[in-house]
Amino acid sequence: MPLPRLIPCLDVAGGRVVKGVRFVGLAEVGDPVELAAAYSDAGADELVFLDIEATLEGRGLLRELVARVADRLAIPFTVGGGVRDVRDAQALLEAGADKISVNSAALARPELVNELAARLGAQAVVVAIDAAAGEVYTRAGTQPTGRDVVAWAREAEQRGAGEILLTSIDTDGTREGYDLNVTRAVADAVSVPVIASGGAGSARHVADALEVAQAALLASIVHENPARLTELRAELRELGVPLRNAA
């Protein structure tokens, strides 16, 4: 298996970075490219940019941001939020993104996953799932769908998803630890890589998540201070997590 991955997540809106706690109460924190570069220098294995507003006017700004990130950084990154069709996804990849992630649009029309995988390759298609109490939520975690998390993860894989990004709404922003139960259930059910998300508060939490998932998304644990990622990597090494040498 490749080495476990640490993936800082940057929530962006209107070309700026914002952060959220429990999906509400947004506060702006800075320039995405500068923050992304700081994470890359601190040893991030990948990055995720989520356009949390995904307004029509914001799409041009997002593509511009993607191009600036691709020109500046030499690590892979995923872009999500508001991807509705193959053309939109293609434009983001052409701007320099390595992968796109889809969430609500795939729930509304699951064939989208097949179309994206056929055109872009499975390795470029991440299906993001927001889960609470075993149920899938849509529209930024605000609406229950009645779908079972494990069943949807399996369906997404069968339709061509190359990775599952699983966020627990219950633990997101709490810093009380990842939801290991739902993460393990999904990781056992699919054979594509799984990225655990939501709830990291300590190196121990991240190490525990990396026991069951192939990668850990890092949001509030590093947002305020990218240098925290450097410390976190050292702490994880002490806990025996085999991270890459980023020098």
Partner 1 sequence: MNVAVCEYGAGNVRSVVAAFERLGVSARATTSPEDIAAADLAVLPGVGSAGSAMDGLRASGLDTALRERVAAGGATLGICLGLQLALDESEEDGGVPGLGILPGRAVRLRTERIPRIGWAEVEPEGEAYYFAHSYAAETPTAVSRTEGIVAAAESGSFLGVQFHPEKSGAAGARFLARCLSRA
130 is catalytic: yes
CB count in 10 Å sphere of residue 131: 29
Question: Which tokens go with 220?
Answer: 């509030």
Q: Is residue 225 helix, strand or coil? A: coil
Gap between the Cα atoms of 122 and 164, Å rounded = 11
Q: Which is nearer to partner 1, 118 or 234 (CB)?
A: 118
Residue 87 in the binding site for partner 1 (CB under 8 A) = no
What is the per-residue burial (b if ≥16 Cβ within 10 Å, else e) of 34-61? ebbbbbbebbbbbbbbbbbbbeeebbeb
Question: Which tokens go with 130?
Answer: 């927001």
Residue 192 in the binding site for partner 1 (CB under 8 A) = yes
Q: Which of 11, 51, 172, 208 is catalytic?
A: 11
Residue 216 in the binding site for partner 1 (CB under 8 A) = no
Least separation in angstroms between residue 137's CB and partner 1 is 25
Out of 75, 86, 91, 189, the only residue in the binding site for partner 1 (CB under 8 A) is 75
Question: Which tokens go with 126?
Answer: 């991440």
Residue 226 in the binding site for partner 1 (CB under 8 A) = no
Angle between helix axes 86-94 and 56-72 (nearest 10 degrees) is 30
- Judged by CB under 8 A, the stretch of 71-79, 80-88, 108-116, 196-204 that binds partner 1 is 71-79
170 is catalytic: no
Gap between the Cα atoms of 94 and 202, Å rounded = 36
- Judged by CB under 8 A, the stretch of 20-28, 93-101, 135-143, 172-180 that binds partner 1 is 93-101
Out of 32, 96, 177, 199, the only residue in the binding site for partner 1 (CB under 8 A) is 96
Least separation in angstroms between residue 32's CB and partner 1 is 17
Q: Which is nearer to partner 1, 116 or 140 (CB)?
A: 116
- Ordered alpha helix ranges (H), 95-179: 104-108, 111-120, 149-159
Which residues, numbered 23-42, are part of the site for partner 1 (CB under 8 A)?
40
Question: What does the DSSP 8-state code read for residue 161?
Answer: -
Q: Is residue 54 helix, strand or coil? A: coil
- The amino acid occupying position 15 is G
Q: Which of 31, 45, 98, 130 is catalytic?
A: 130
What positions carry a catalytic annotation?
Answer: 11, 130
Residues that bind partner 1 (CB under 8 A): 1-5, 40, 45, 67, 70-72, 74-76, 93-96, 98, 119-124, 162-163, 191-193, 214-215, 244-247
